[in-house]
A and B are shown apart, each in its own frame.
Chain A
Amino acid sequence: MSEENAPVFENVLEKLEDLVQRLETGGLSLDEALKLYEEGIALTRVGNQLLEGVERRIIELQKDNEQTKS
């Protein structure tokens, strides 16, 4: 249930890698190359965004159950 809302990092990295390889293999028109490049820049940005933030976030769940016995 968590997959569809956010981009998964693996996919971002995989796409980026694939794209760079296509750029490096060559045989693309300048138009195509520029399009791939733009896409790559966008992916880079998304990847970096996924790695952003440094605050330690801990959420401790509350059990609304009665049985809390130790």
Chain B
Amino acid sequence: MAVDSPNQTLSVTEFNTRVKSVLEGTLRYVRVEGELSQINQHGSGHVYLTLKDPNSRLQGVVWKSVAQRLRYKPNIGEQVVVYGSISVYVPHGSYKLVINSIEPAGLGARQAAFEALKAKLLKEGLFESENKRDIPLLPRGVGVITSPTGAARRDIESVIFRRSPQVKIVLYPAIVQGAAAASDLVLGLQMMNQRSDIDLIIIGRGGGSIEDLWAFNEERVARAIAKSTLPVISAVGHETDTTISDMVADRRAPTPSVAGEVAVPVRDDLLYTISLLSDRMNRNLEHRLERNRSQLENYALRIENQIDISGRHQRFESIQRHLDRLLAQHIQKNRQRLHDLEIRVRHQAPHVRAGRSREALTAVSMRLRHAGNLSLDRGRSDLKMLAARLSALSPLSVLERGFSVARKDHAVIRSHTQVEVGDEISILLHEGSIGAKVCDKSQDRSLELASQEVSS
């Protein structure tokens, strides 16, 4: 609109009033997209905000009546699309956009992009469970890709330290939102995969708007996760947020804390498992050795017994042989003597000539006496032996060994039936004798054992 005339001079008010009518006449009901850089909730209920893009900024206002009706509550940093008309404030010569509605920028477009990428990767099989790597039971180190200043980092670290303090953490301080985020996350994944001290990667961030989490919905990031040699746990936002990264990752954790739990076991549990196994092993071997030991002892005992018995047997047999030999010799000797005597007696027989000389008689009698002496000597020693054998059989020698003879009216008592309770009996001992009274009788033979020993 041209100035009326070059000579005409306008007052400030007049100028601003003209600006107002020009702008408000043309910039009505427009849509403007920009990042919210400032929001002032005024006491009156009106909301003043600033929209910006890299090169310019724009003031806007949401009147109280409109602010109360807004479904979407915008936050600083968010990309939004506002709808409204310009309003020029003449006293200040300033203008504002009077906003009637606000919605997140690119909402529709992003939703569409999300669905398209999801469908594409699904078709490629990137979400298939058979393409997922196993999470190791106990990683030596865990790579964490997240913001160095976020709560997610603190949560992950504290959970890992609590459960498995021996596990090393390698942090990649990542940019997790904004334009640079996607390529930074990809770089982080690449760097982690070059390390040999970690067995697992956690990638994620805390909660935020869809825009904040958007990097985790980008194809580059999804492909980098799929390509990772190390297994990846994705933990983006809250439980309700699901990103493409979550779907591609080998495991999705609803929150960063849970990611820490999935990543490492409780060390004490594993130590306990090991000690249980080693106990079982020890117990098993101890039992086995104990079994073998007692088996050996058993064998040893049996062998010993074997030796002992055969030893006794041999001794017993040799004694028996010796006795047999003695007996045989004795019999032989006596038989011989008998034979000699018989011959001699025959020589003395009446049919032998009576007229033998006296010398002959004396010689014979001498011989006879000599023979008698000889046989007497022999007989003496024989007698000794026989006496010894006899004495072994004598009841008196039995008494010497502690046996005694019980008699009633001089008759030997052999059975309990021979006496009545109250009878007076006498007992003959090795030395002396005693009178006794029967106070009890029974059929039991308590001497059975002893008699068995004697007979064997």
Contact = CB atoms under 8 A, between A and B. Distances in A.
| Residue among A48, A55, A70 having the largest count of chain B Cβ atoms under 10 Å | A70
A60 B148 contact: yes
A67 B180 contact: yes
Interface string A26-66: 00001001100100110010011011111111111101010
Contact of B281 (A20, A50, A65): A20
Contact of A16 (B175, B196, B274): B274
A1 B191 contact: no
Contacts of B165: 53-56
Interface in A1-30: 1-2, 5-6, 8-10, 13, 16-17, 19-20, 23-24, 30
Given A9-B136, A51-B166, A61-B191, A23 B278 contact: no
Nearest to A68: B175
Given A8-B136, A10-B138, A58 B169 contact: yes
A54 B281 CA distance: 28
Nearest to A5: B196
Contacts of B180: 67, 69-70
Interface in B169-210: 169-173, 175, 178, 180, 183-184, 187-188, 191, 195-199
B95 interface: no
B273 A20 contact: no
A20 B280 contact: yes
A20 B284 contact: yes
Contact of A59 (B168, B178, B270, B271): B168
B288 interface: yes
A48 to B, nearest CB: 6
B137 interface: yes
Contact of A24 (B173, B178, B278, B284): B284
A6 B166 contact: no
A70 B168 CA distance: 27
B267 interface: yes
B274 A47 contact: yes
Contacts of B199: 2
Contacts of B136: 8-10
Nearest to A4: B196
Contacts of A61: 170-173, 188, 191
Interface in B110-162: 136-138, 140, 148, 157, 161
A44 B140 CA distance: 17
Contacts of B184: 67
Contacts of B300: none
A66 to B, nearest CB: 11
B229 interface: yes
B277 A44 contact: yes
B285 interface: yes
Contacts of A67: 180, 183-184
A5 B324 CA distance: 86
16 contacts: A2-B140, A2-B197, A8-B136, A10-B138, A16-B274, A16-B277, A20-B280, A20-B284, A30-B288, A40-B278, A51-B164, A54-B166, A58-B170, A58-B171, A59-B168, A61-B188
Nearest 7 Cβ contacts at the A-B interface: A9-B138, A53-B166, A57-B168, A44-B278, A23-B284, A54-B165, A10-B137
Given A1-B196, A53-B166, A63-B187, 7 more contacts: A13-B274, A51-B164, A53-B165, A54-B165, A56-B165, A58-B157, A61-B188
